[in-house]
Amino acid sequence: MIKAQLAKSFIENNEGLNHLLIKISPENIDISYVKVDVHLPYGISRLPNLTKYDENAQGSISFRELNEKKEIMFELYTTEEDVPLGHCSINILLKYRIGMLEHEENISITLSIVDENDVADVVINNEVITKLKELPNDLKEEPKENYELDVKSKVIRRNNTFSYLEEKYRVNY
C-alpha cells in the first residue's frame, strides 16, 4: 500500500539535497482515515511537503479518506554542519483505518551520507525527478504586476564651520 523512493542514491553531508517520493495506493479498499509520518535521522531535515498537502505542527499529513492514489514529495537537506558519513534510515509510518479496524505499515529507506567530493557514483531515479518537475513551482511564477520605481535624490548643502579647538587639533589626511 505504501512505497517510497529517493531521487538520488545518497545525500551530501554538507549542504546536501535530495527528494523523497511517497506513494500511497488504496488497492481497491475503502480507507477512512490515513496519517503519514516521516522520521528522519540526525542531521537531515525537510521542508514542508512540495505537494501542498496540509501538515500539522509535528509534520504529519492526514487524509479523511483515501479513494485514489496519493503521492507526497518532500525535499530533504543537510545544513552547513557536517553530518556523520555512513548509512542511515528514513522511517515512514502509515496509519489507516478500514472500517473500525486500525492498521499500521512501517517502511524504511536506506540513505547514504557521503562527502561532497565523493559524488561520482550517483544513481538518479528518473521517475522521482519527473514527478518533481511536474509539480507547480511557486518560484517560477512571474510577478502579476510590474511596478516602476522613481527615486529622486535630494541634495543638502551645508557650510561647516569648525570651532577653535576643532581647527587647532584637526588632523587632515
Alpha helices by DSSP H, listed for the chain, are 126-134, 164-169
pLDDT of 119 above 80: no
pLDDT of residue 170: 65
pLDDT of residue 141: 52
Any domain includes 8: yes
- Decide: 67 and 26 in contact? Cβ < 8 Å: yes
Return the percentage of the chain with pLDDT > 70, whole number.
86
Among 48, 25, 29, CA closest to 38: 48
CATH number at residue 45: 2.60.40.1670
Any domain includes 50: yes
| Overall average pLDDT of the 105-124 stretch | 87
Whole-number CA gyration radius for the chain: 27
Boundaries of domain holding 79: 2-134
Please tell me the least confidently modeled range out of 46-60, 106-120, 144-158: 144-158
pLDDT of 147 above 70: no
pLDDT of residue 63: 87
Any domain includes 166: no
- The amino acid present at 158, given as its one-letter code, is R
Q: Name the pTM for this structure.
A: 0.75
From first CA to last CA, the distance across the chain in angstroms is 78
Residue with cell 511557486: 138
Any domain includes 146: no
pLDDT of 173 above 60: no
Any domain includes 117: yes
Any domain includes 140: no
- Decide: 59 and 37 in contact? Cβ < 8 Å: yes
Number of folded domains in the chain? 1
pLDDT of residue 171: 62
Return the percentage of the chain with pLDDT > 90, whole number.
32
What does pLDDT average to over the chain?
84
Any domain includes 110: yes
Any domain includes 80: yes
